[in-house]
Amino acid sequence: MLKNSKHSYGWLAVAIHWLSAIAIIGLFALGYWMLTLSYYDPWYRLGPWWHKSIGLILLLITLVRLVWRWVSVRPELIGSRYENYSAQMGHALLYALLVVTMISGYLISTADGSGISVFDWFEVPALITTIPEQEEIAGDVHWYTALSLVILASVHALAALRHHFWDKDATLKRMLKPQK
Ligand code: HEM
Ligand code: HEM
């Protein structure tokens, strides 16, 4: 089952959810570690190369994810009205933080007018270079949105675990494997 149904996420949504979650946690750790490296460390250049390449692939995947979410059925949320409302707000905020983190990362890297090479495979050109103090402002935005994203994702993961172990409902199961 590739597509979502009224009762479950399909394989595409499941695959993108978990790939994105792994990428986001990896990018956060790598970004944080990158800042501690000295100029002579080989990873001083390799770190940002991986970070930017994975980050831009994630941006592409997220666009596919949002289009897919828009064109396919959305599984009905499980829980009380209050829980459903907070889940909806939480998911919207996760998407917003994710998009702003990726765009601000792009704006840091392209502030000096140079494009970004994705795995030396293709280049994404610099489109916006005219914001005053672009690199500094985008850098601050990137840090605070990335941090908020991982904090909110942790609360989100706890909520999913509470559904599974406390309420014993299908919330987590249907995000791990499409349910009939
Ligand atoms: C969800 C995706 C991402 C996360 C969680 C993330 C996280 C981070 C973190 C924690 C840092 C270190 C702290 C900081 O200086 O802000 C960082 C730095 C950086 N990120 Fe990202 N990042 C993501 C996506 C991207 C993308 C798509 C790009 C560019 C294409 C990018 C470019 C950069 C750059 C250039 C730095 C170094 C900034 C500096 O030297 O101040 N990031 N990122
Ligand atoms: C960086 C980490 C993560 C991010 C950014 C993230 C983001 C999201 C988003 C945006 C949705 C809404 C999907 C939609 O309907 O469009 C979602 C759903 C879901 N996530 Fe995550 N997630 C992350 C990690 C996790 C983890 C670690 C777990 C489990 C422990 C988890 C469990 C779930 C479940 C069960 C749903 C379905 C919720 C429902 O049916 O109401 N997520 N996630």
Segment 90-148, tens digit of pLDDT:
999 999 999 999 999 999 999 999 999 999 999 999 999 999 999 999 999 999 999 99
Any domain includes 5: no
Q: Which ligand is nearest to the CA of 77?
A: 2
What atom in ligand 2 is closest to the CA of residue 84? 41
Mean pLDDT (whole number) for 7-26: 98
- Per-residue confidence at 78, pLDDT binned at 50, 70, 90? very high
**Is the pLDDT score of 46 beyond 90?**
yes
Mean pLDDT (whole number) for 57-64: 98
| CATH code, domain carrying 92 | 1.20.950
**Is the pLDDT score of 55 beyond 90?**
yes
- Per-residue confidence at 21, pLDDT binned at 50, 70, 90? very high
Any domain includes 2: no
Q: What share of the chain is helix, strand, coil (3-state, %, to 5)?
A: 65, 5, 30
CA distance linking residue 97 with residue 103, whole number of Å: 10
pLDDT computed for residue 180 by the predictor: 84
Residues 34, 98, 68, 83, Cα dihedral to 10°: 130
Tally of domains in the chain: 1
CA distance linking residue 166 with residue 172, whole number of Å: 12
**Which residue has the least CA distance to atom 17 on ligand 1?**
31
Domain that holds residue 75: 11-176
Any domain includes 3: no
Establish whether residue 60 lines the binding site of ligand 2, counting it when its CB lies within 6 angstroms of any ligand atom.
Answer: no
Mean pLDDT (whole number) for 155-174: 97
Query: Which residues does residue 101 pair with via DSSP β-bridges, in sequence order?
Result: none
pLDDT computed for residue 91 by the predictor: 98
CA–centroid distance, residue 32 to ligand 2 (Å): 23
Residue 86: DSSP 8-state: H
